[in-house]
Amino acid sequence: MSQAFKNVNVGKLADAAFAQTNADMAEYTKKYNKVQKGKLLETQLGTLKLTMSGKKIAETAVKKLKPILKNTVKKGWNQFKNKWNEKANNNLRNSLKEKQTANQADRDQDLVDADDKVNETEATSNEADEALANAKIDNDALPGEHALNEEGRQMDEDEAQEALDNDTADAIEAGKSGSDLDAATQESAQNQISLQASNDAARAAEQQAVQDSEANVAGLQADSDTASAANESAITAKESLMGVQKVAETSETAEIAAVPQVESAAEIAGTVATDAGETAAVAVDEDVGADLDATGILAPIGLALGALGIALGARDKGDPKLPTNMSQNEENYSFQAGVGM
Q: Where do the structural domains in the chain lie, given as residue ranges?
A: 9-321
The per-residue b/e assignment along 180-193, b for 16 or more CB within 10 angstroms, e otherwise, is ebeebbeebbebbe
Which pTM was predicted?
A: 0.49
The CATH architecture to which 9-321 belongs is Orthogonal Bundle (1.10)
Mean pLDDT of 94-102: 93
Q: From CA 291, how far away is CA 240, in angstroms rounded?
A: 75
Q: In the prediction, which pLDDT does 286 show? A: 46
Give φ, ψ of 59 to 5 degrees.
-60, -40
- The length of the chain is 341
Q: Are 31 and 320 in contact (CB under 8 A)?
A: yes
- Top-confidence range, 21-35, 198-212, 300-314: 198-212
Does residue 27 or residue 17 have the better pLDDT?
27
Q: From CA 168, how far away is CA 158, in angstroms rounded?
A: 15
Confidence band of 285 (pLDDT split at 50, 70, 90): very low
How would DSSP label each residue in 261-300?
Answer: -PPPHHHHHHHHHHHHHHHHHHHHHHHHHHHHHHH-TTHH
Q: In the prediction, which pLDDT does 214 show? A: 96
Q: Are 151 and 232 in contact (CB under 8 A)?
A: no
CA proximity to 251, closest of 114, 88, 92, 96: 96
Q: In the prediction, which pLDDT does 341 show? A: 38
Assign residue 260 a region: left if phi > 0, alpha if psi is -120 to 50, beta otherwise?
beta
Give φ, ψ of 319 to 5 degrees.
-70, 135
DSSP assignment letter at 340? E
Q: Are 205 and 113 in contact (CB under 8 A)?
A: no
CA proximity to 58, closest of 292, 258, 243: 292
The secondary structure element, H or E, covering residue 84 is: helix 10-173
